[in-house]
Amino acid sequence: MVCFSVAKSPPELVAPSEPTPGGTLPLSFMDRNPALRVLICSAFVYREGGKEAATAIREALSKALVPYYPVAGRITDTAEDGEPEIACTGDGAWFVEATANCSLADVSYLQQPLENVAKEDLLPFPPPKVDEKDLILLLQVTKFKCGGFVIGLRSSHAVFDGVGQGEFLKAVGELARGLPQPSVAPVWGRDAFHNPPKFPRGPLPAFTPFNFEISVLDLTSDFINQVKNQYLKETGQRCSSFDVVSAKVWQCRTRVVGLTSPDDRVHLGFAVNTRHLLQDVLPAEGGYYGNCVYNMAVSAAGDVVACAPLVEVVGMIREAKRRVPSEFSKWMTDGAAVANALPLGCGTMTVLDWSRVGFFEVDYGWGQPMHGAPLVDTNFIAWCILLKPLPPNQGLRLLMRCVEKQHLAYFSSQMMSSALSRAN
């Protein structure tokens, strides 16, 4: 067993490679949700390029911060209306170069859940006196003895949603590969959004954590396609891989935690990318990297979710998706109340799809990542995140924290009963 350690360089600011505009820029009302004033942590594993990766990515990051110049600024709360905005200071993004004492194989290619590896070793941190709540981007490149490397990211959710973060990283990758400019030009565009009443101010509520354990399962393409075909046969309509996976996890978890009576209410929340509903606001050519996420919810009696055929549970999720355009339009018009707020109890879980937002297509010159995942500690709500499986596997990898340790075996058996297999 390797005693993993890394040697980190002092954090440095990587500024834009050319002069950039100053001043301040507004955040949209979707960005200003207080719950988004956090740094999202993630790590992506690459097999090759370790010796040259840090230099190439540092230089590409500096170039990317010219068209993405707001990312080189800081979040400030000095606007006249008291809302946060971006000060385009040109300070830059914090960058750390690190070297690991082993190969990626020695640490199982850093598959989740991490074992004998502290996530802090893979993630960048600024100097002690820097206020993290004002930062937008921090990046660390950790080189391994095998020649591989890991990108560790901490990025502000108030500036990027998942698709936006994916586009930014693709731009860095394109510049690292020698392209003269990103293939998609970034657009700030926040001032084009409707500006409804403010979100409530003040601290976020305190949450009582659960004791849910992290688990990982791989769902095969064969199973996903089997359910898709069955849904098409029974309803004459199509469904997505997300629908199938969400339905399966929701149903199995409901059974395992015992919320199976008619008096129990169980809830499923998921984030919907609404860019296609904002065509009158966003540029047709793309490039908008701010938040375009609407939170959707499905609620039902526990016995219905636990006992219904899986196709019917898929139908519940499809029905919720059909409501998105009308509900989102009303939400955008009537105000910035929390969309479809979920009760924070054992009967609630959320599903997020990281498999299609662009993270797994980022190439810095040595190919796409073999895998990647958020590094999440959240334990006040049950959650499941969809990821790409390790190549050459097809299907989806499920990173979950939704049941307690004593329920893991039963949960795994329920999931595996329908062509799911444990992650290797």
Residue 266: pLDDT over 80: yes
**pLDDT at 116 exceeding the cut of 50:** yes
pLDDT score at 419: 41
**Which residues neighbour 163 within 8 Å (Cβ) at sequence distance 6 or greater?**
273, 275, 289, 292, 357, 358
Say if residue 329's pLDDT is above 90: no
More confident residue, 159 or 203: 159
The CATH class, in words, for 212-422 is alpha beta
Residue 170 to residue 124: CA distance in whole angstroms? 20
Distance CA 233, CA 357 (A): 29
What phi-psi label fits residue 198: left (phi over 0), alpha (psi between -120 and 50 degrees) or beta? beta
**pLDDT at residue 269, rounded to an integer:** 97
- Mean pLDDT value across residues 315-343: 83
| Count of Cβ atoms closer than 10 Å to residue 233 Cβ | 9
Question: Is the Cβ–Cβ distance between 57 and 151 less than 8 Å?
Answer: yes
Least confident of 74-83, 268-277, 341-350, 382-391: 74-83
Q: What are the DSSP calls for 395-412, one per residue?
A: SEEEEEEEEEGGGHHHHH
Task: Tell me what pLDDT residue 114 has.
Answer: 87
> What was the pLDDT predicted at 423?
38
Beta carbons within 8 Å of 132's beta carbon, 6+ residues apart: 39, 126
pLDDT at residue 6, rounded to an integer: 97
Which CA distances in Å does 417 have to 215, 351, 410, 412, 424?
16, 21, 11, 8, 17
8-192: CATH architecture: 2-Layer Sandwich (3.30)
pLDDT score recorded for residue 424: 36
Helices (H), 139-191: 162-176
292 and 273 Cβ atoms separated by less than 8 Å: yes
> To the nearest whole number, what is the mean pLDDT of the chain?
92
Domains 8-192 and 212-422 share a fold: yes
pLDDT of residue 281: 87
361 has a pLDDT exceeding 50:
yes
Tokens in use for 347? 């009967």
Confidence of residue 201 (pLDDT cuts 50, 70, 90): low
d(CA 36, CA 309): 36
User: What's the distance, CA 157 to chain centroid?
Assistant: 9
Average pLDDT estimate for 399-406: 96
Query: Strand ranges (DSSP E) for 320-395?
Result: 348-353, 371-374, 382-387
Q: What is the pLDDT of residues 310-321, one digit of tens each?
A: 999 999 999 999
Its pTM stands at 0.93
User: What are the Cα distances from residue 372, in Å, to 21, 153, 300, 399?
Assistant: 34, 11, 33, 11
**pLDDT for residue 337:** 54
pLDDT value at residue 46: 97
Q: Write down the domain spans for the chain.
A: 8-192, 212-422
Residue 228 predicted with pLDDT over 60: yes
Q: What would the pLDDT profile of 159-193 be if each residue is shown by its tens digit?
A: 999 999 999 999 999 999 999 999 999 999 998 88
On the question of pLDDT at 420 being above 50, the answer is no
For the residues 64-85, what does the mean pLDDT come to?
90
Cα atoms found within 13 Å of the Cα of residue 380, Cβ hemisphere only:
7
Just list the catalytic residues: 157, 363
Q: 153 and 136 in contact (C-beta within 8 Å)?
A: no
C-alpha–C-alpha distance, residues 254 and 235, integer Å: 24
Res. 213 pLDDT band, cuts 50 70 90? very high
- Helix ranges (H only) for 257-407 are 302-307, 310-334
Angstrom distance (rounded) from CA 112 to CA 119: 11
Q: Would you give the DSSP letter of residue 141?
A: E
